[in-house]
Amino acid sequence: MGRLVDGKWVKSSVITSDESGAYDRVPRSFRDTISSNHSKYQPESGRYHLYVSYACPWAHRTLIYRKLKSLESHISVSVVSPDMLEMGWTFDQSIAGATGDDLYGLNYLQEIYLKADPKVSTTVTVPILWDKKTQTIVNNESSEIIRIFNSEFNELTGNHEDFYPEDLADKIDELNEFIYSNINNGVYRSGFAKTQEAYESAVTKLFTSLDRVEEILEGQKYLLGDRLTEADLRLVPTLLRFDCVYVTHFKCNLKRIKDYKNLSRYVRDLYSIEGIKETTNIEHIKRHYFYSHDDLNPYRIVALGPSEIF
C-alpha cells in the first residue's frame, strides 16, 4: 500500500494517524462537478465512467445511486480487485466480480490518477468519477458524486426521485455530519487507532452514536420517517459491513448490529431494496479488509463467519 507523491508511488501504510495515535483521514483531491451549465462537464450519456471497489463503503454509495437513479446504461463502471496490496488497488481479475480496467486495460488504479495528473500527490482511492471525453478525473469524493447522481442526470434518465429533497436538506445535513464523524469514519477510527486511548475514545463514540440511531428508528422506517433519503444511503454501507468485518477486524465488538432491535430491522429493510442488495458483495468485503490490512492481520486469515449477516 502507499500513495502518489509528485507522480511517484511511495509505499506506506494505509493508516494515517495524528500525534495522539488517532486515525486521521486524508481529504480527497479531485472535487469538480457535472451540471448542464458547467463550462467543462455536462451530463451526457456514455461520457462518464465510475471506478469502484465492492469492498469500499464509500464506493458502495455511488453504486447504490447509480442503480437507484437509473444510471446504469449511461455511466459505465470498472470494479477493482478486493486485494489492496503494496501497489494499492489493482485491476487483477483473478477474483470473481473484479472486471479489470474496461477503458484502458491498465494494471493499477494509481495509473488512472496519473492519467489525470502525471505529477499528482494523492492517496489512491475509490470511487473515481472519470470523464472519457477529457480523460481526467471529475471527482473522487463519494459524498459529492452521489449528489451529482441524485440530480444532474434527471433529464437524461427521466428518473426524478430525489434523495436530498429541499424540505429535508437541513435535517439530512445534520444527520450526515453526525453519522460520518461517529459511525462511517468511527469504525475506521476504532480499527486504525494506534493507542489504547484513541481506540477507546473512538469505539465509545461509535456505540453511543449507534445507540442514538437505534432511538431515532423507534417507530419509524427510516432516519427521517417513511421517506428514504441520502442520510440512509450514506449510513447503510457501513452497517452492511459491521457484523461481518468491523466487529472483529476493527474491534468494534461492544455489540453487533444484529443485537439492536431497530437497527437490525432497518438493515434488513434496506438490504431488500434492489439497488442495495445487488451492489452488496460480501465476499469482496471480507476479502478486502481481512486480506489487505496486513498491519492488523499479518497472516491474512479471512474469517469464515458470521453464519447469519442480516
Name the percent of the chain lying above pLDDT 70.
Answer: 96
Contact residues for 92 (Cβ-Cβ < 8 A; gap 6+): 81, 83, 98, 100, 107
Catalytic residue (choose from 188, 246, 260, 291): 188
Q: Which tens digit of pLDDT belongs to each residue from 212-268?
A: 999 999 999 999 999 999 999 999 999 999 999 999 999 999 999 999 999 999 999
Cβ atoms of 36 and 143 within 8 Å: the answer is no
Domain boundaries, the chain: 2-157, 166-280
Please state which of the ranges 14-23, 50-59, 281-290, 300-309 shows the lowest mean pLDDT: 14-23
Output 20 or 67, whichever has higher pLDDT.
Answer: 67
SS3 271: helix
- Sheet containing strand 128-131, strands side by side: 76-79, 48-52, 128-131, 136-139
**How sure is the predictor about 21, in pLDDT bands with cuts at 50, 70 and 90?**
low
**How sure is the predictor about 35, in pLDDT bands with cuts at 50, 70 and 90?**
very high
pLDDT at 281 over 80: yes
What is the rounded distance in angstroms from the CA atom of residue 67 to the CA atom of residue 74?
11
**213 strand-pairing partners:** none
Q: For the purposes of burial, counting CB atoms within 10 Å of the CB of 136, is it exposed (0-12), middle (13-18) or buried (19 or more)?
A: middle
CB atoms within 10 A of CB 123: 20
Q: How far is CA 143 from CA 21, 149, 150, 234, 273, in A?
A: 26, 10, 11, 8, 20
Q: Is 252 in the active site?
A: no
Cβ atoms of 8 and 117 within 8 Å: the answer is no
Cβ atoms of 280 and 240 within 8 Å: the answer is yes
Section 50-56 average pLDDT? 98
C-alpha cell at 209: 452514536
What is the rounded distance in angstroms from the CA atom of residue 84 to the CA atom of residue 82?
6
pLDDT at 310 over 60: yes
pLDDT of residue 307: 85
**How sure is the predictor about 1, in pLDDT bands with cuts at 50, 70 and 90?**
confident
Section 263-292 average pLDDT? 98
pLDDT at 18 over 80: no
Q: Is 244 in the active site?
A: no
Mean pLDDT of the chain: 96
What is the rounded distance in angstroms from the CA atom of residue 152 to the CA atom of residue 43?
7
SS3 4: strand
- For 166-280, CATH gives 1.20.1050.10
Section 130-137 average pLDDT? 98
pLDDT of residue 119: 96
- For 2-157, CATH gives 3.40.30.10
**122 strand-pairing partners:** 4
Section 20-37 average pLDDT? 80
Catalytic residue (choose from 56, 113, 222, 246): 56
